[in-house]
Structure 1
């Protein structure tokens, strides 16, 4: 029996990260598009993700939410795609995948919402400060083609998406190391296929709601 893989998303969401990962995996999936104010908050979807947020996947009846978790899960669920290092070589893979999902995401969101912890508050905030997290992230990718070893992995999908998105929208300041890391990732066939799908869906949404 073939794997059943359902992908819940909205093209203007972090679902773009998972779309890229799905394209890297190459497994067929069923897409279910949700609207922020209606179907994303409806009982049917809340039964999948009580947070009422996308993306989420359901793979053979098992629900996975949170982009970093979905990327890691798909890498393990579809090992033929070779998107995860061998178990003994996963230190950097887990470290930077979840550092970016945790401190980097928190620091960027806090800055966007107008909150920057002072020196004393930084001791309690898991991310410390935006500057500290970006310095650490820069150190992780500087001079490297891939963030976790000598080959492309699911960690590059997630870390690369965050850097690519941040540079595009200004939530991550330009640094040469960030651009040097992100630029080759944008040339990957799976990245381009994913962007083509999501950009097409966004264009359709805009045409349907020109106001």
Structure 2
């Protein structure tokens, strides 16, 4: 699949994960940088793209895709040459989808509830069970490493790995050696280094403006 990608982006935000993913696939793209402090995400022209007024969102070949996980999954399938998703029929496809959905349905909700000290409901009603179970499950998934699919690096590492890095950075996850080693490996990815450098420049420019 060809065609330039437009990433509606803000730094720092969840759209940094989408930027990382686009750098991984190596496709041409342009950034539409939004200033969240000025609430540019609520301007009518952007709400026409994403009525939620959130980033990230991408435009590609006439389609609009929102939500970081959906963007990562879409791009992995749209650019198969990057080899970031097991194709249908591959035995790893199920595990790949498991971890792609784990981030949004379990990990992030568990972290947010834990940090905000929200009173948890009955364990069976919570989409993630408990924060402790979620963290332990996450650690077990990567303890043998190096990636969520074993030796195979995938979009699951881009998406869930970004959440682990975020969790450690802001002390939202326990500083377990398994997590720290995993993030160190992730930070060695040239695509991640490029994405982080772009974000650092954007944040520096915003600060000096």
TM-score, normalised relative to structure 1: 0.93
Partner of 1:87, secondary structure, is coil
User: Distance between the aligned counterparts of 1:2 and 1:80, measured in 2?
Assistant: 12
Aligned partners of 2:70, 2:2: CA distance in 1, in Å?
22
Distance across 2 between alignment mates of 1:30 and 1:63: 14
Structure 1 position 116, deviation (Å) = 3.8
Say if 1:5 and 1:57, in contact at 8 Å, map to a contact too: yes
Partner SS for 2:28: coil
Aligned residues of 2:4 and 2:27 also touching (Cα < 8 A): no
Q: Which residue of 1 aligns with 2:18?
A: 18
Shift of 1:148: 1.7
Distance in 2, matches of 1:146 and 1:10, equals 27
Aligned equivalent of 1:99, options 69, 90, 102: 102
- Asked whether the equivalents of residues 17 and 157 of structure 1 are also in contact (C-alpha less than 8 Å), the reply is yes
CA distance in 2, matches of 1:108, 1:47: 31
* Superposition deviation, residue 123 in structure 1: 1.8
Query: Is it true that 1:112 corresponds to 2:115 in the alignment?
Result: yes
**Match runs of 1:57-206 below 5 Å:** 57-88=58-89, 89-117=92-120, 121-206=122-207
Q: TM-score, normalised by structure 2?
A: 0.94
Closer/same/farther in 2, CA of residues 28 and 103 from structure 1, 3 Å limit? same
**Residue deviations 1:43-71 (CA, integer Å, cap 9, x gap):** 11111111100001011110111111100
Distance in 1 (CA, whole Å) between partners of 2:197 and 2:119 is 36
**Secondary structure of 2:120's partner?**
coil
User: Aligned-pair distance for 1:2?
Assistant: 5.0
In 2, the alpha carbon distance for the partners of 1:181 and 1:125 equals 27
- Please, which runs of 5 or more residues in structure 2 have no aligned partner? none
What residue is the counterpart of 2:3 in the other structure?
3
Call closer, same or farther: CA 1:178–1:116 in 2, change over 3 Å.
farther
Whole-angstrom CA distance in 2 between matches of 1:38 and 1:103: 29
> Which stretches in structure 1 are left out of the alignment for 5+ residues?
none
Alpha-carbon distance in structure 1 between the residues aligned to 2:60 and 2:184: 31
Q: Hey, what does 2:48 align to over in structure 1? A: 47
